[in-house]
């Protein structure tokens, strides 16, 4: 877990999942400037079902941040399109920042 995400254990990963899932389930993917104001609406996600589980979306984002893998390689690993991996990363980073603000320490 530490090698791929930087988290010390799977327990830490599941804790982060529990913290962000309530907001993540309602969130729509970033699709350009027009989605900026509607990104955190408190309504169920519209459109087709997610290709990846929320756990895997979080894993994609953490692997991107830790290992700086390309969107194409992450897409290959998770058998999704590279545009989806890009949308996941650009959507989940602001969400994590917002939801985990209280536990992020900047010296």
Question: Are 60 and 74 spatial neighbours (Cβ–Cβ below 8 Å)?
Answer: yes
Question: Are 38 and 65 spatial neighbours (Cβ–Cβ below 8 Å)?
Answer: no
Which pLDDT score, from 0 to 100, does residue 95 have? 85
Higher pLDDT, residue 58 or 22: 58
Which pLDDT score, from 0 to 100, does residue 91 have? 85
* Count of beta carbons in the 10 Å neighbourhood of residue 67: 14
pLDDT digit string (tens) for 45-98? 555 567 888 899 999 999 999 999 999 999 999 999 999 999 888 888 888 888
Which pLDDT score, from 0 to 100, does residue 42 have? 44
Higher pLDDT, residue 102 or 13: 13
The sign of the CA dihedral 24, 8, 105, 60 is: negative
Which pLDDT score, from 0 to 100, does residue 103 have? 82
pTM for the full model?
0.75
Question: Are 95 and 24 spatial neighbours (Cβ–Cβ below 8 Å)?
Answer: yes
Question: Are 41 and 99 spatial neighbours (Cβ–Cβ below 8 Å)?
Answer: no
């Amino acid at each position: 877990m530490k090698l791929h995400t930087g988290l010390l254990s799977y327990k830490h990963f599941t804790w982060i999942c529990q913290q962000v899932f309530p907001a993540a389930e309602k969130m729509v993917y970033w699709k350009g400037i027009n989605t900026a104001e509607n990104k955190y609406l408190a309504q169920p996600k519209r459109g087709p079902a997610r290709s990846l589980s929320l756990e895997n979306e979080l894993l994609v984002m953490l692997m991107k941040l830790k290992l700086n893998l390309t969107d194409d390689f992450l897409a290959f690993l998770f058998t999704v399109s590279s545009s989806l991996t890009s949308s996941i990363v650009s959507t989940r980073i602001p969400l994590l920042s917002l939801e985990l603000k209280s536990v992020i320490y900047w010296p």
